[in-house]
Amino acid sequence: MKKKLVLTILGLGAAAATSYGQGGIVFNNGPAGGPYNPITWGAGHAPGGVRSTDGVTVTLWFAPDGQPLVAGPTVTWNGGYEGIGYYGYYTVQATLNGWAAGQTWDFQLKASGSGGISGQSVVWLENANIANIGGTPAGPPGNSANAIGFVVNVPEPTTFALLGLGALAFVNYRRRS
């Protein structure tokens, strides 16, 4: 009986030591979330931020510090700011399964779209701003103090023109041979 009691206590202790919670954090690069830091277009394009109708998808990638990043939720463009002429602002919430208090997590935003559109932010770390949302009742996520923006790279028309000329020259060369 004593042996069974000790094993039960040890089993419960091991389960408690290895259980993890669920963390949450919200990112917002709009004026209400901190400094103005919109996601913008690359060089050679009209100034201003990326619009929700531009066909660019921005995804939040994250993982515990030092582990490979995995794709998370897609950014929701802030249509309210677009309505008054400010573009490139977003809000996104990450739910961090397996999070434990005190852990540091890495985050990065990556953009993609048709026509070779791409871009990515710097990788940044979060620790103190992550809040436990896995309790009973569930708590609200934390708010990041970072307002991350970056430049979306759009291939220049001259790049496509040079590729087209190269392909035509190759086809012409093959015909003559």
Q: Which stretch of 28-32, 38-42, 105-109, 160-164 has the lowest confidence by average pLDDT? A: 160-164
The residue with greater pLDDT, 80 or 7, is 80
Within 13 Å and on the Cβ side, how many CA atoms surround 176? 6
The residue with greater pLDDT, 112 or 15, is 112
Residue 44 per-residue DSSP state: T
pTM: 0.75
Q: What tokens does 39 get?
A: 């996601």
Coil, helix or strand for 146?
Answer: coil
Predicted pLDDT of residue 18: 40
pLDDT tens digit sequence for 121-177: 999 999 999 999 988 889 999 999 888 999 998 776 665 566 677 777 777 777 777
Mean pLDDT across 80-108: 92
pLDDT tens digit sequence for 43-56: 766 667 898 998 99
For 79, list phi and psi in degrees, rounded to 5. -65, -25
* HEC letters along 137-175: CCCCCEECCCCCCCEEECCCHHHHHHHHHHHHHHHHHHH
Tokens 């069974």 belong to 4
Nearest to 129 by CA among 47, 24, 36, 53: 24
- Element of type H or E holding 23: strand 21-28
Task: List, in order of start, the domains of the chain with CATH numbers.
Answer: 19-169 (2.60.40)
CA pair distance 121, 54, nearest whole angstrom: 18
Predicted pLDDT of residue 20: 65
Mean pLDDT across 33-50: 76
pLDDT at 17 over 50: no
Nearest to 118 by CA among 35, 27, 39, 26: 39
Q: Each residue of 22-38: b (16+ CB within 10 Å) or e?
A: bbbbbbbbbeebbeebb
